[in-house]
Amino acid sequence: MKAKVSIIMGSTSDLPVMEKAAQILNDFKIPFEINALSAHRTPEEVEVFAKGAMDNGIKVIIAGAGMAAHLPGVIAAMTPLPVIGVPIKASLDGMDALLAIAQMPPGIPVATVA
């Protein structure tokens, strides 16, 4: 089946957190894909992904990142699809990731979950 949900993480080190979303989607038999893309290290790849996600059949994006966590907002700024941001506890007890996802970029909605 073609993926309906795309799980994106800033680094493969985020997999222990993001694989929980994959397990739930698998339990509900919702087709998904999972990839590591970085808004800092591979911005061109993030842009290609975000701008092409809807045409590729994706209906929702779950994006997780730690530290300053720009990835969910960057993706949301480039697609009309809903983006769910997952702040990953990497520094400052995860507060920096939470605030970055909830506030950046201004005017771009990103659902933010724990």
98-110 residue pLDDT tens: 888 888 788 888 8
Q: State the pLDDT at residue 68.
A: 67
What's the pLDDT score for residue 79? Answer: 96
- Asked if the peptide bond before residue 105 counts as cis, ω within 30 degrees of 0, the response is yes
User: Could you tell me the residue ranges of all domains in the chain?
Assistant: 5-112
Cα–Cα distance, 85 to 97 (Å, whole number): 9
State the CATH architecture for 5-112: 3-Layer(aba) Sandwich (3.40)
Contact (Cβ atoms closer than 8 angstroms) between residue 61 and residue 83: yes
Across the range 13-34, mean pLDDT stands at 95
pTM of the model: 0.91
Please tell me the predicted confidence (pLDDT) of residue 39.
87
